[in-house]
Structure 1
Amino acid sequence: MSLGDDCHAWKKKTTDVKDQYDFKEVLGTGAFSEVVLAEELKTMRLVAIKCIPKKALEGKESNIENEIAVLHKIKHANIVSLEEIFESKSHLYLVMQLVSGGELFDRIIEKGFYTEKDASKLIQQILDAVKYLHDMGIVHRDLKPENLLYDSMDEDSKIMISDFGLSKIEGSDSVMSTACGTPGYVAPEVLAQKPYSKAVDCWSIGVIAYILLCGYPPFYDENDAKLFEQILKAEYEFDSPYWDDISDSAKDFIVHLMQKDPNARYTCDQALQHPWIAGDTALEKNIHESVSAQIKKNFAKSKWKQAFNATAVVRHMRRLQLGTSNEGPTTQAGEGSQDVDGGADSMSNCTFRCHPTSRV
């Protein structure tokens, strides 16, 4: 299934967005937009609204139109949805599904008990969502833990993929060859500046699975050139003692996704059939202490631009429950502030974002 000819059928409601939504607090600001927590007046349902000044779009129209075209077509249980688009003389407003359960790493750290089986279930949801994208001819190109958010605060909440600023519709242009993404998650063929395909997303899922099982990235170096060299060679290890208690099946799953040759790399279909996902080979031993300690050490919040400020959403919802929704400070940019533009503007020059520190 392809996006086809109706990529731009989404154009926009011209009624005043504030006739239908009550704007609350700012969740975060980006290079050319901000995201606001809002309440739909008719239903009292909370949403996130991405507010983009038209002046800021000059020269960047193709980036935002790409993101909207992608988001408008996507309807999947594990992908943040675009619900409505409004246009005023000065702004574009994207009404997005609000996910309020917080960030992946935060939830893992907060758990007292965390196992391979938990990681396997997370990866299965990601694979299901990315398979859906790939079947539609969409390549995400920037899959990473920071773009994975929990739908709600419930213990059994599903995981959601956000941030489509770098997504690409296959066949909508020439063969993909633009070097973009986030360093530690980028496939070797991207760094080699070779034409690439949806296989780059499968590599990134392998990297995410690796981190979920040990708490640190498979590739790390303070020097970007050395980091890229590791990735280009696909040089990574299952270091002792961090991997001593992890199953051979989990390691086999990662090895099949983190293949240097994209033609030998597992597809989402193949990965979903692997015993570590589809079978019962994922262990249920508690690995929380080791993994959470490594996450704290290797993924300092200050180093990352978040997909959105989930902390602010959670805080706001707690205030609503307490009946004090008008109290408390609004979110300050910098406190887990988001890259609300999905990286589309900053990445158009093919610059890479920072990478996590070494665990050593």
Structure 2
Amino acid sequence: MCESFKRQYQLCDEIGRGRFGVVFRCFSPSSHTSFAVKSIDKRLLLDDETDRECLDKEPKILQILSPHPNILQIHDIFDSDSHLLIVTDLCQESTLYDRVVSAGPFSETDACSVFTQLIDALAHCHRNYICHRDVKPDNILFDSRNRVKLCDFGSAEWFGGVEGRERMNGIVGTPYYVAPEVLAGREYNEKIDVWSAGVILYIMLGGVPPFYGDTVEDTFAAVLRGNLRFPTKIFRSISPEAKDLMRKMLSKDVSRRFSAEQVLRHPWVTSGGMTSTMNDMS
């Protein structure tokens, strides 16, 4: 560990292992606050140019986006010849993926609470010309106050503005959540994040992904078809407003797909998931 880190923080227990290193809990005696610190052994990345680029890019992007209540915040960076230490918010161990698996489908109000925070984070990214490009439940954490924290910006890219270009390319993302235009090898824009968030909303409400197959190839083929359905057995009790929003987020026609800002203005979001169906019952 860097000596400068040791002067400011006390290293505690290991809490996870990620793609680039080990994550520990640490404590700041001066602020009496606990944080997470990711310790990355740079010597393991010497031969991998892509990993080095991701490692270099993520802290820069997080610093641009901070502070935002729903994006993992960097508090300190310590760089030595052998290691990079990144001190961030301390989050709970369970991700949104863990919660969906353990609890099953969410109520519309509970789903809307998580979803609105996610979309607010994405809208903030897009206003700053940053596209996350790998939005999935595994990358949605929760802090001690149960607030959503979007993390893992290793695949993120700048677009538009001064820093980047208006459109992006390259196949990135994760099966189930990746947008069809990415798989098709076409240029794309930041609305790929909206597609991924739409898939997450579908899973939170239905408990299953909207596009899937027995193999990765079958799943990709289903995504490319983009044939969105709401099986009655699963979605019988889901409101028309929620289904309308998902249709507008999971539109194959990118020109008709909602932006993150449009999603935030949709009636299902502004009502907090308090749908007309629920109002009729009260």
- TM (norm. structure 1) is 0.70
Q: Does 1:197 align with 2:189?
A: yes
The separation in 1 between residues aligned to 2:216 and 2:42, in whole angstroms, is: 35
2:235 partner SS: coil
* Structure-2 residue corresponding to 1:84: 76
Q: Deviation string for 1:301-325 (max 9, x for gaps)?
A: xxxxxxxxxxxxxxxxxxxxxxxxx
Quote how far apart the aligned CAs of 1:108 are. Answer: 5.5
The separation in 2 between residues aligned to 1:111 and 1:212, in whole angstroms, is: 10
Q: Does 1:41 align with 2:33?
A: no
Aligned residues of 1:142 and 1:166 also touching (Cα < 8 A): yes
C-alpha spacing 1:135/1:26, structure 2 compared with 1 (3 Å):
same
CA-based RMSD? 2.2
Identify the match of residue 56 of structure 1 among 16, 21, 44.
Answer: 44
The separation in 1 between residues aligned to 2:200 and 2:52, in whole angstroms, is: 31
- What does 1:199-218 correspond to in 2, within 5 Å? 199-218=191-210
What amino acid is the match of 1:182? T
* Structure-1 residue corresponding to 2:150: 161
Quote how far apart the aligned CAs of 1:101 are. Answer: 6.6
The separation in 2 between residues aligned to 1:283 and 1:46, in whole angstroms, is: 43
1:179 partner SS: coil
- What does 1:1-360 correspond to in 2, within 5 Å? 16-58=4-46, 59=49, 60-74=51-65, 75-100=67-92, 102-107=94-99, 114-152=106-144, 154=145, 157-171=146-160, 172=163, 175-279=167-271, 280-281=274-275
Aligned residues of 1:71 and 1:164 also touching (Cα < 8 A): yes
C-alpha spacing 1:133/1:31, structure 2 compared with 1 (3 Å):
closer
- TM (norm. structure 2) is 0.88
1:183 partner SS: coil
C-alpha spacing 1:30/1:160, structure 2 compared with 1 (3 Å):
closer
The separation in 1 between residues aligned to 2:96 and 2:20, in whole angstroms, is: 26
Deviating more after overlay: 192-201 vs 228-237: 228-237
2:168 partner SS: coil
C-alpha spacing 1:263/1:273, structure 2 compared with 1 (3 Å):
same
Following TM superposition, where does structure 1 have runs of at least 4 consecutive aligned residues deviating by more than 6 angstroms? 109-113
Aligned residues of 2:115 and 2:201 also touching (Cα < 8 A): yes
Deviating more after overlay: 167-176 vs 126-135: 167-176
What amino acid is the match of 2:245? F
Quote how far apart the aligned CAs of 1:122 are. Answer: 1.6
Aligned residues of 2:89 and 2:143 also touching (Cα < 8 A): no
Aligned residues of 1:179 and 1:191 also touching (Cα < 8 A): yes
Q: Which runs of 5+ in 1 are unaligned?
A: 1-13, 286-360
The separation in 2 between residues aligned to 1:140 and 1:282, in whole angstroms, is: 33
Q: Deviation string for 1:146-182 (max 9, x for gaps)?
A: 1112212x5xx22111111111111445642110110
The separation in 1 between residues aligned to 2:104 and 2:257, in whole angstroms, is: 34
The separation in 1 between residues aligned to 2:278 and 2:97, in whole angstroms, is: 19
Q: Which runs of 5+ in 2 are unaligned?
A: none
Quote how far apart the aligned CAs of 1:246 are. Answer: 0.7
The separation in 1 between residues aligned to 2:104 and 2:243, in whole angstroms, is: 24
How many aligned residue pairs are there? 269
The separation in 1 between residues aligned to 2:102 and 2:45, in whole angstroms, is: 39
Quote how far apart the aligned CAs of 1:103 are. Answer: 2.3
Aligned residues of 2:212 and 2:223 also touching (Cα < 8 A): no
C-alpha spacing 1:30/1:239, structure 2 compared with 1 (3 Å):
same
The separation in 2 between residues aligned to 1:46 and 1:240, in whole angstroms, is: 46
Deviating more after overlay: 223-232 vs 172-181: 172-181
- The structure whose RCO (Cα within 8 Å, separation 6+) is larger is 1
C-alpha spacing 1:29/1:121, structure 2 compared with 1 (3 Å):
closer
Aligned residues of 2:228 and 2:250 also touching (Cα < 8 A): no
Quote how far apart the aligned CAs of 1:102 are. Answer: 2.9
Quote how far apart the aligned CAs of 1:96 are. Answer: 0.8
What amino acid is the match of 2:40? I
C-alpha spacing 1:112/1:53, structure 2 compared with 1 (3 Å):
closer
2:228 partner SS: coil
2:176 partner SS: helix
Deviating more after overlay: 31-40 vs 182-191: 31-40
The separation in 2 between residues aligned to 1:143 and 1:31, in whole angstroms, is: 16
The separation in 2 between residues aligned to 1:35 and 1:178, in whole angstroms, is: 29
